[in-house]
């Protein structure tokens, strides 16, 4: 009989301050590299609001953009590349640059002993994941992980899994109505972004999905990608405010990423994982749906990850058992609260008991390697050629060099 179960206790969503940090410990001096949308919306405000962090440096090719993000009333180093951070005592660097710069910049900083948090997609290929792991051997930590793991609805789904029996299948779907990040910038340039909806939305889905499954390996993959919406101006996200960045190298149709990716992965635990990642579609709103099928029931979580205003207004979580559907009550949450929890999680990893084992828990190098190999396999199955070894040179004389190759 349909009905509402008691509100579940949702593990892993409390945002209490980091435990073993003395109250008078100085904040962690943090450099934020990239002064674009995610740093403006997430990183700088949330790091500044957390007692464990202090933004000590801001780096962007567009120095004015970096300067505009500087917290008022404190001296902050502003630069255009990691070379401007040499000699600066830093406890952490957050890398929130276009995808092709994640691994090269992380390697530079790790080489100087600076721990890094790398935005998703941490890397574009498994080869980049290996290069990152190699650079981390020097001892400085690599941190990562999708904020979506810290959503209350995702934690509630995780808490339900033991009641579903033996897991057989996981279906991951993030379909936006119209959410191509930008038309002419780096996001849609394969040589820079490395890929489209699969790397952008699919990375979050795989991060959440493989965490739910206990991080299995992958034995097989099928995939297909398409780009039917890229030419449609109405399919571009109207909420991110990126627009044209005017600094993208000249490109041909082959340089464009996909707006839609569909894939099927077989895991070494026998669970079948299907995935749809779509920047645009015929859907009325942007939705993220995670379906877990077990021998004793099927759980369906439907909501919207991320910040899009075209969202499912309230997440729902239902369980189907022998024709009987039960709704699991979920706490109502403000949009984006999972990012606060991600920052808190990071504080714990850097200063709490987990600090001694930086590879443990969410966002470890081992997980990054698995996600990158899923992406590689799906693109290979879809017949997409490998990435050029060197990203293209940016055009000359187009204002801020937003896609400079090397830092
Ligand atoms: N976790 C999330 O939910 C989330 C959300 C959005 C973006 N992201 C990720 O964050 C990263 C940045 O995304 P964004 O949306 O902020 O992009 P953006 O285009 O808004 O910002 C990128 C910034 O990098 C700067 N830049 C470009 N090339 C540079 C160079 N060579 N040297 C210095 N600065 C350079 C640009 O001037 C720009 O300010 C991406 O990897 C993206 O996937 C994550």
Q: Is the minimum distance from the CB of 294 to ligand 1 under 6 angstroms? A: no
The contacts of residue 323 (CB under 8 Å, 6+ apart) are none
Q: How far apart are CA 399 and CA 159, in angstroms?
A: 50
pLDDT of residue 72: 92
pLDDT value of position 4:
34
Highest mean pLDDT among 3-17, 178-192, 278-292, 359-373: 278-292
- pLDDT, residue 323, reads 97
Within 10 A of 27 (CB to CB), how many other CB atoms are there? 17
Query: How far, in Å, CA of 47 to CA of 18, rounded?
Result: 13
Q: What is the 8-class DSSP label of residue 307?
A: S
Name the more confident of 252 and 110: 110
- Contact residues for 287 (Cβ-Cβ < 8 A; gap 6+): 173, 174, 175, 302, 303, 304, 311, 312
Looking at residues 87-113, what average pLDDT do you find? 97
pLDDT at 270 over 70: yes
Residue 305 has pLDDT above 50, yes or no: yes
Q: Which domains does the chain have, with CATH numbers?
A: 28-147+342-365 (3.40.50.720), 151-333+368-376 (3.30.360.10)
The upper half-sphere exposure of residue 83, i.e. CA atoms within 13 Å in the direction of its Cβ, equals 4
Q: Is the CB of 376 under 6 A from ligand 1?
A: no
Alpha-carbon torsion (286, 362, 103, 118), positive or negative: positive
Ligand 1 contact, 124 CB (< 6 A) = no
pLDDT computed for residue 248 by the predictor: 64
Higher confidence at residue 322 or residue 404? 322
Write the DSSP symbol of residue 19: T
- CA dist., res. 197 & res. 174, Å (int): 9
Verify whether ligand 1 is closer than 6 Å to residue 97 (CB atom): yes
Residue 404 reports pLDDT greater than 80? no
250-278 mean pLDDT: 95
Mutate to test the pocket of ligand 1, among 34, 120, 174, 343 (most ligand atoms within 8 A of CB): 34
Give the span between the Cα atoms of 93 and 118, in whole angstroms. Answer: 8
Q: Select from 403, 387, 377 the least CA-distant residue to 202.
A: 377
Pocket lining: 108 vs ligand 1, CB cutoff 6 Å? no
In angstroms, the CA 55 to CA 67 distance is 12
- Over the chain, what is the mean pLDDT? 89
Give the model's confidence band at 16: pLDDT under 50 very low, under 70 low, under 90 confident, else very high.
very low
What confidence category does residue 24 fall into, taking pLDDT thresholds of 50, 70 and 90?
confident
Residue 306 DSSP symbol: S
Q: Indicate whether 352 pLDDT > 60.
A: yes
Please work out whether the CB of residue 65 comes within 6 Å of at least one atom of ligand 1: yes
pLDDT of residue 35: 97
- Residue 119 Cα, ligand 1 centroid: separation in angstroms? 9
Ligand 1: residue whose CA is nearest its atom 36: 402
Q: 8-17, 205-214, 298-307, 327-336: which range is least confident on average?
A: 8-17
Q: Which two tokens stand for residue 391?
A: 């990203």
Angle at alpha carbon of residue 347, lines to 303 and 61, rounded to 5°: 80
Q: Beta strand 92-95 with 28-33: parallel, antiparallel or unpaired?
A: parallel
Q: Report yes or no: 55 and 44 within 8 Å, Cβ to Cβ.
A: yes
SS3 label, residue 305: coil
Of 57 and 145, more confident: 57
Give start and end residues of each alpha helix (H) in 179-244: 190-193, 197, 203-212
> Is the model's pLDDT at 380 over the cut of 70?
yes
The Cα–Cα gap between 292 and 306 comes to 21
pLDDT category of residue 50 using cuts at 50, 70 and 90: very high
**Residues in the chain, how many?**
407
Q: What mean pLDDT is predicted for residues 104-116?
A: 97
For residue 134, the model assigns a pLDDT of: 96
Work out the average pLDDT over 227-231: 93
What are 157's two structure tokens?
Answer: 């789904």
Distance 335 CA to ligand 1 centre (A): 21
Given this model, what pLDDT does residue 20 score?
Answer: 54
- Tell me the CA–centroid distance for residue 22 and ligand 1, in Å: 33
CB 81 near ligand 1, within 6 Å: yes
Contact 260, 277 (CB under 8 A): yes
Mean pLDDT along residues 392-401: 51
**Residue identifier of the C-alpha nearest atom 18 of ligand 1:** 36
Q: 273: closest CA among 365, 361, 205?
A: 205
Q: pLDDT band at 362, cuts 50/70/90?
A: low
Q: List, for residues 289-304, the tens digit of each pLDDT value.
A: 999 999 999 999 999 9
- Which phi and psi angles does 201 have, rounded to 5°? -95, -40
pLDDT at 400 over 90: no
Model pLDDT, residue 392: 73
């Amino acid at each position: 009989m349909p009905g509402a179960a008691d509100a579940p206790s949702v593990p892993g969503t409390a945002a209490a301050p980091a435990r073993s940090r003395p109250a008078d410990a100085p904040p962690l001096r943090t450099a934020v590299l990239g002064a674009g949308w995610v740093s403006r919306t997430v990183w700088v405000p949330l790091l500044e609001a957390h007692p464990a962090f202090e933004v000590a440096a801001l780096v962007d090719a567009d120095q004015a953009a970096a300067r505009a993000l500087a917290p008022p009333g404190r001296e902050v180093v502003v630069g255009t590349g990691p070379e401007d951070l040499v000699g600066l005592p830093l406890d952490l660097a957050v890398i929130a640059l276009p995808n092709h710069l994640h691994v090269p910049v992380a390697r530079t900083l790790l080489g100087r002993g600076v721990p890094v948090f790398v935005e998703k997609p941490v890397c574009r290929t498994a080869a980049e994941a290996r290069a990152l792991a190699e650079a981390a051997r020097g001892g400085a930590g690599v941190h990562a992980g999708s904020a979506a793991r810290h959503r209350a609805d995702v934690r509630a789904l995780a808490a339900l899994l033991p009641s579903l029996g033996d897991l057989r299948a996981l279906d991951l779907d993030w379909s936006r109505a119209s959410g191509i990040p930008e038309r002419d910038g780096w996001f849609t340039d394969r040589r820079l972004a490395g890929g489209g909806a699969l790397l952008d939305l699919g990375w979050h889905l795989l991060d959440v999905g493989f965490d739910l499954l206990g991080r299995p390996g992958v034995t097989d993959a099928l995939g297909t990608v398409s780009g039917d919406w890229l030419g449609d101006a109405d399919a571009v996200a109207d909420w991110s405010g990126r627009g044209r960045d005017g600094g993208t190298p000249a490109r041909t149709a082959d340089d464009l990423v996909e707006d839609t990716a569909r894939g099927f992965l077989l895991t070494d635990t026998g669970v079948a994982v299907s995935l749809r990642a779509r920047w645009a579609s015929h859907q009325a709103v942007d939705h993220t749906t995670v379906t877990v099928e077990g021998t004793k029931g099927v759980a369906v979580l439907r909501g919207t990850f991320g910040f899009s205003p075209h969202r499912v207004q309230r997440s729902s979580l239902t369980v189907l058992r022998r024709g009987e559907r039960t709704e699991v009550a979920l706490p109502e949450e403000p949009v984006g609260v999972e990012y606060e929890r991600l920052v808190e999680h990071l504080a714990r990893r850097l200063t709490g008991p987990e600090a001694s084992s930086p590879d443990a828990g969410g966002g470890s190098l081992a997980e990054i390697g698995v996600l990158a190999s899923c992406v590689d396999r799906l693109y290979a199955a879809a017949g997409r050629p490998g990435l050029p070894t060197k990203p293209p040179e940016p055009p000359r004389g187009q204002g801020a060099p937003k896609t400079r190759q090397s830092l």
